[in-house]
Amino acid sequence: MDSAPASRGHTAAWSKLLETYRPRPADEQQGPPSLGRLIEAAGRNTTLGAMYPWVSMQQLSVSTEDKWEEWGHASLPAMFARPDGYEVVGHDRRGEIVRLTTRDPAKAAAFAAGLVRTDDVVRPVGPHTWSPEVEQVLREAGWHAGRAVDTAGWKRRLEQNGFRSHAAAEDFLREFGGLAVGHGGVGITRAREPVDLDPLLALGEADRFDEWGEEIGHRLFPVGELAGGHAFLGLDEDGELYVVDDWLARFGRMPEAMENLVLGVMPVRMPEPE
């Protein structure tokens, strides 16, 4: 991706973030890594500074569009201010997860910019290739290339219960419906949690899905639950995967969303209704 001058909207977004997270004098000492220092370094980077930035907790990400909702639509890297250093998570040319950990925020920004400039990262083409770890987890759960299960029964029962199906949900369930991933442990930015891709677990929750769907302007259809019933998983008609609870968060758009779900990437919390 060629760097270009930052638009007025991009410049304002970086300025607003820096104003909010501006490094304090204590951050200049040998303390824990500061999100403000990461924002400062990334904003000065020619490539990253020309993109739209947003923050979720200790995560800094960039978008090719003028809105943070575009996160997950391309395999763009994410930067984190971790207790032990700055971490960059992205994808290499084969679609595999790559990481860098450094104490230098400028080095983290430069590494992330290098991933952005890789055409394969910004514009993936052809069928999705799962990272080896994700493919292993999915295969252990019963997935295989070309998997296609009958979704008619799920669709009928859920629509009778008040849900509204769509093609993206049917495609998702045809490939992944009925799988249960029971693995746990440390993930990239959150603990990995069990996933049960049985959409019928959301029976009785149509009102919750409808209310959130109206809030974001999309139709949410259940595809399973997370962490043994701690929250539901829903998919909208554009293939965006969400955590659906008393709050809403996004894992991104399929197929990258499945990578994020399996590998333990923190979903992006959506703004609360005003």
Instruction: Say yes or no: 114 and 137 in one domain.
Output: no
Above pLDDT 70, what percent of the chain? Answer: 81
Indicate if 146 and 250 belong to the same structural domain: yes
- Residues 144-187 have pLDDT tens digits of 988 899 999 999 999 999 999 998 899 999 999 999 998 778 88
Across 13-41, average pLDDT: 76
Does some domain include residue 2? Answer: no
CATH, residue 153: 3.40.1580
Q: Do residues 136 and 260 both lie within one domain? A: yes
Mean pLDDT check: name the lowest of 93-107, 185-199, 209-223, 234-248.
Answer: 93-107
Q: What pLDDT score was predicted for residue 125?
A: 38
Domain that holds residue 148: 132-269
The answer to whether residues 140 and 175 belong to one domain is yes
Do both 143 and 258 map to the same domain?
Answer: yes
- Would residue 244 count as lying in a domain? yes
Q: Name the E strands within the chain.
A: 52-56, 59-63, 78-82, 85-91, 97-102, 180-181, 185-186, 191-192, 195-196, 221-226, 231-235, 240-244, 248-253, 268-269
Q: Which residues pair with 102 in a beta bridge?
A: 86
Q: Within a domain: residue 153?
A: yes
Q: What is the pTM of this model?
A: 0.61
pLDDT for the residue numbered 200:
97
Residues 138 and 264 both lie in one domain: yes
* 82 and 190 inside one domain: no
- Closest listed residue to residue 183, CA positions, set 173, 195, 197: 195
Q: How confident is the model at residue 9 (pLDDT cuts 50, 70, 90)?
A: low
The answer to whether position 66 is within a domain reads yes
Task: Judge whether 127 lies within some domain.
Answer: no
DSSP assignment letter at 73:
S
Residues 45 and 149 in one domain: no
Task: From 91, 122, 153, give the residue that closes a domain.
Answer: 122
Lowest mean pLDDT: which of 4-8, 45-49, 170-174, 249-253? 4-8
Q: Examine residue 235 and state whether it is found in any structural domain, yes or no.
A: yes
Whether residue 77 is preceded by a cis peptide bond, meaning omega within 30 degrees of 0, is: no
**Domain membership flag for residue 247:** yes
| Structural domain total, the chain | 2
Residue 95, pLDDT score: 58
Question: Are 79 and 158 contained in the same domain?
Answer: no
- Choose among 78, 9, 29, 20: nearest CA to 266: 78
Q: Which of 1-5, 89-93, 112-116, 212-216 has the highest mean pLDDT?
A: 212-216
Same domain, 93 and 136: no
